Structure 1
Amino acid sequence: MKLFRRKESSTLPLVPITEDLEFKPFRETYKIITFTMIVGMLYPMPNTDKCRVAGILALLLTTQPMCIPALIDIWYSWLRGDIINIIRHTTVIGPFLGAIFKMMMFFYSRKEAWSIIKKMDADHARYNTLPEHLKDIARRHIQNTQYYSEKCWTITVSICVLTFPLTAVILTLYNYAFKEEPVKYMIHDVNKPFSPEEDRFTSPYFEIMFFYMCYCSVLFIISFTGFDAFFGVTINHACMKMELSCKTMEDAMSETERDSRHRRILDVISQQNDLFRMVELIQQTFAIWLGVIVVATMLQICNCMYQIIEGYGIDARYLIFILGTIAHIYAPCHYAAKLQDSALEVATHLYCCGWERVNDERARKLIIFMIARAQIPLKITAFNMFDFDMELFVSIVQTAYSMFTLLRS
C-alpha cells in the first residue's frame, strides 16, 4: 500500500491509495482524454517538456506534405478567381493548422494545466473519505462527465473527421466494382504541385497521399478530442465542487457540537477558496484558445455554408462538418454558462443551509461572508474581453450567417 499526501497542505492526513478506491486520479478516471492528450502532445506533465517540444516539431514537419500543396493550390485558385476552391481548402486546412497551434498554446500554459490536474487528483483522493451521500454527488458528476465530455465528444469528433476518408474509400471501391471507367477519390482533393490536375490520381502518388491523409485525419481526431474535452472536464469538476461544498454546509448546520460545526464550516471555506483558484487557472489556461475558436468558428460555419450552397452541389461531408463545428462552439459556451448558473446558486444554497436553527453567532457571521463572496459572478472570458455563455453562442451563429450572406452578395 502506498500513501498519498496533498501538496497544498502538509497538515492533511495521509490517504491510502489502493487499486480498489472508487475515485481515482485524472489519468485513470478519464482514460480516453488522457490517452489523446498524451499522443497529441498535450498532456502537461512537467518531466515531458522536452519530449513534447520534439513531438510538436516532428508533427510540424510531417504535416507539411499536406499543408504546402494545399497552400500552393489556394494561391493558384486566388490567381484564377476560384473562390469556391479556396473556401474548400480553408475549411479543412484551417482547423488542421489550428490543431498544431493548439499544441503550442497548451505547451505555453502547461503549468496552469498541470495545476488543474493535480487539484483534480487531490479532490478525487479526498472524495474517497467522504460520507456516502456526498460520494453519490461526486459519483453522479463524474459519470456525467465521462459520458458527455469524454465519450460523446470523442464520437462526435470521430464522425466529423472520419466522414472524409470513409466517403473516399466507399466511392473509390464503388467505382472500381461497378463502373467500366472507375474514378479515384481523394480524402481531401489537392492538386499535385506544379503538375497537371490529372497527375494527382496517378500511382504511386495517389496511394501515398491517400494513406498520408489518413494519418492527418488521426492527428485531427486526437487533437480535437483531448484538448476540447479537457475544458469540459474542468468546468464539470468545478460545478461538482460547488455542489459538494453546499451539501457539506448543510451537514455542518446539523452538527450539535460547536467545535465540530466550526471545523466543517472552515472546510467549506477552504473548498470555496480552492474553487476560486481553480477557476482562475481554467481562465488562464483556456483564455487564448476560447478567443481563437470564436473567430475560427464563425469563419468555419460561414465557409461550410458557402461550400454547401454555392459549391459543387450538396456534399454530406460538409453537412456533417458544419454540425460538428456548431457543436465545437456550443460545448464551451454551454459549459461556461453551466459554471455561471452553478455559481449563482451557491449563495442561495448557503442561505438555505439551516443556519437559522443554530444558535451560533460565529457560524452565522462566517456564512454572511461566504454568501457575499458567492454573489460575485464566476465567468469564463475569451481574450479576457467577452464572456462565454449561451448568448455568445447565438451571436456567433448569427454573425456567421451574416458573413455568409455578405460573401454570397
Structure 2
Amino acid sequence: MDEELEFKPFHDSYKLITFALSIGMIYPNPKTEKWRLASIPLLVATIAPLAIFVFIDMYRCWMIKDIVNIIRHSTVMGPFLGGFFKMILMYHKRIQAKQILDEINRDHLMFNDFAEKYKNIARSWIRNSQIYSERGWVITVTGCVMTFPVMAIVLNVYNFAFKSEPEKYMIHDLEKPFSESEARFESPYFECMFMYMFYASILYVVNFIGYDGFFGLSINHACMKMDLYCTALEDAMRNDDEVCGRVVAVIKEQCRMFRYVDLIQDTFNIWLGIIFIATMIQICTCLYHITEGYGFDLRYMIFVTGAVIHIYLPCRYAAKLKALSLDTACRFYSCGWERVEDQRVRKMVSFMIARAQVPNEITAFNMMAFDMELFLSILQSSYSMFTLLRS
C-alpha cells in the first residue's frame, strides 16, 4: 500500500539517514531496543583497542613534549569517540526520538489527502530536506572522513607501483605500542591495522550521518508544519463557510508544532551543548596542526572545513526555525482576519499572533540559543584559542 502513496513514512522518504541510523544502532525502533542495548557495548568493544593504542601514543608524546602529535590524535579521536556517545544518548532519548518519528510519519500520511496546493508545499520542503539535509550531509561527512583512507590507499598504490623503495602510509599514523617507530610498518601488523582503521572510518561516517542528519530533518519538518498551517489560515479567511472550525484546526496544528519542537529540544539539547564546546576545540586544534605541524596536510584542511560545516548546520537550522516562527506572526496578521465579522475568530487570531511572537528556539544545555550569532561566536572563540595556543 505504501507504494501507492506519494508521501511515504520517514524510512521510505529518507532512506540514507534511516540506513545510517539503523547501522549506527540509534534508530528509535521499540522492536530493536534489546538488540541495540546488546549491540552498543559490542561496537564499543570493537574500537576499544584502537582507542587504547591512541591513548598510549598520546601519553608517549606527552612524556617527550610532542604537542603536535597529541593534538593530531585528539583532533581525530575526539569526534570519533563522541559518535559512540551518540549511541548511548539516543538510547536514553529513544522515547522522545520515536515520538518525533511518529509525528513525521503522521504528517506524511495526512499529506496524501491534502489539496494540491498543500501537497506542493510539502513536496518543496521534503525535496529540500532530501537534497540538503540528507544527500548533501552524506556527501559532506563521507568526503571529510574518507579522505584519510582514500589518500592512504592512493599513496600506497602509487609508491608500490612507481618507487623502488616504497613508503607505507597508514590511515591515521599511529605508533605500535611499546615498539620502535618503524615497527608499525612491518607485516602483518601494518595490513591488519590498516583494515582496522578502515573499519573505524566506516563507523565514523555512519555515526555522523545518522544522528546529525536526523536533527536537520526534524527541524526542516517543523518549518514545513508552520508553512502549512499559515497557508491553511490564509485560506480559511477566504472561505465564508466554517471559518471558525478551520481556525480551530489551525490552532490545533500550531499546538502540535510547539509540542514537536519541545521534543526536538529535549532529544538534542545535550548533544548540541557538547558539540558547541567540542567544535571550538576541534577547529582550534585543526588550525594548529595545519600551521604548526609537519607541513600543509590536505586531509586536516578538509577535516577542519567539515568541523565548521558540522557546527554551521545546526546553527543554520535553528536560526531558520526561529525566523520562520516569528514570520508566522506576520502571516497570521496579514491573513485577512479583518474581513471576518465573527468576533470569536478575531479573538482566536489575536491570541495566535501573540503566541507566534514568542520565537521557537533550539538551545544547548537548555541555556545557549543556537543561531547564526552563536556560530560567529564559535569561530571567533576558536580563533582566539588558536592564537593563544600558538603563543
* Normalised TM-score (structure 2): 0.99
1:354 aligns with 2:332: no
Structure 1 residue 347: Cα displacement: 0.6
Between the aligned partners of 2:337 and 2:244, the Cα distance in structure 1 is 12
Is 285-294 or 45-54 further displaced after alignment? 45-54
Between the aligned partners of 2:249 and 2:13, the Cα distance in structure 1 is 25
Between the aligned partners of 1:332 and 1:185, the Cα distance in structure 2 is 35
Report the residue type matching 1:395 in the other structure: S
1:336 corresponds in structure 2 to 318
Report the residue type matching 2:334 in the other structure: C
128, 131, 135: which one aligns with 1:144? 128
In the TM superposition, 1:37-116 aligns within 5 A as 37-116=21-100
Between the aligned partners of 2:357 and 2:246, the Cα distance in structure 1 is 21
227, 249, 253: which one aligns with 1:271? 253
Between the aligned partners of 1:243 and 1:170, the Cα distance in structure 2 is 48
Structure 1 residue 65: Cα displacement: 2.2
As a proportion of its length, which structure holds more helix? 2
Between the aligned partners of 1:178 and 1:31, the Cα distance in structure 2 is 42
Asked whether the equivalents of residues 61 and 67 of structure 2 are also in contact (C-alpha less than 8 Å), the reply is yes
In the TM superposition, 1:176-195 aligns within 5 A as 176-195=160-179
Unaligned runs of 5+ in 1: 1-16
SS at match of 1:371: helix
Structure 1 residue 129: Cα displacement: 1.0
1:322 corresponds in structure 2 to 304
Between the aligned partners of 1:159 and 1:352, the Cα distance in structure 2 is 45
2:279 corresponds in structure 1 to 297
Between the aligned partners of 1:285 and 1:343, the Cα distance in structure 2 is 20
Between the aligned partners of 1:403 and 1:99, the Cα distance in structure 2 is 24
1:373 aligns with 2:342: no
Structure 1 residue 82: Cα displacement: 0.3
SS at match of 1:353: coil
Structure 1 residue 304: Cα displacement: 0.5
1:209 corresponds in structure 2 to 193
* Cα deviation code 1:362-393 (max 9, x no counterpart): 11111011111111111100001110000000
1:261 aligns with 2:243: yes
Between the aligned partners of 1:141 and 1:131, the Cα distance in structure 2 is 16
1:306 aligns with 2:253: no
SS at match of 1:183: coil
SS at match of 2:91: helix
Between the aligned partners of 1:283 and 1:338, the Cα distance in structure 2 is 15
Asked whether the equivalents of residues 152 and 169 of structure 2 are also in contact (C-alpha less than 8 Å), the reply is yes
1:165 aligns with 2:144: no
Structure 1 residue 197: Cα displacement: 1.0
Q: Considering only aligned residues, what root-mean-square deviation do their CA atoms show, in Å?
A: 0.8
Structure 1 residue 191: Cα displacement: 0.7
Between the aligned partners of 1:386 and 1:331, the Cα distance in structure 2 is 16
Report the residue type matching 2:296 in the other structure: I
Between the aligned partners of 2:52 and 2:324, the Cα distance in structure 1 is 46
SS at match of 1:19: helix
Report the residue type matching 1:112 in the other structure: Q
Structure 1 residue 202: Cα displacement: 0.5
Structure 1 residue 50: Cα displacement: 1.1
1:199 aligns with 2:183: yes
Report the residue type matching 2:228 in the other structure: L
266, 280, 287: which one aligns with 2:262? 280
Report the residue type matching 2:243 in the other structure: R
241, 245, 270: which one aligns with 2:225? 241
Between the aligned partners of 1:319 and 1:190, the Cα distance in structure 2 is 19
Between the aligned partners of 2:365 and 2:310, the Cα distance in structure 1 is 18
* Cα deviation code 1:301-334 (max 9, x no counterpart): 0110000000000000000000000000000000
Structure 1 residue 18: Cα displacement: 4.0
Asked whether the equivalents of residues 2 and 8 of structure 2 are also in contact (C-alpha less than 8 Å), the reply is no
Between the aligned partners of 1:304 and 1:102, the Cα distance in structure 2 is 22
In the TM superposition, 1:124-139 aligns within 5 A as 124-139=108-123
Between the aligned partners of 1:239 and 1:314, the Cα distance in structure 2 is 41
1:231 corresponds in structure 2 to 215
Moved over 3 A (4+): none
1:364 aligns with 2:364: no
* Normalised TM-score (structure 1): 0.95
Structure 1 residue 55: Cα displacement: 1.4
Is 170-179 or 23-32 further displaced after alignment? 170-179
| Residue 53 to residue 206, structure 1, CA distance change in 2 (3 Å) | same
Report the residue type matching 2:34 in the other structure: K
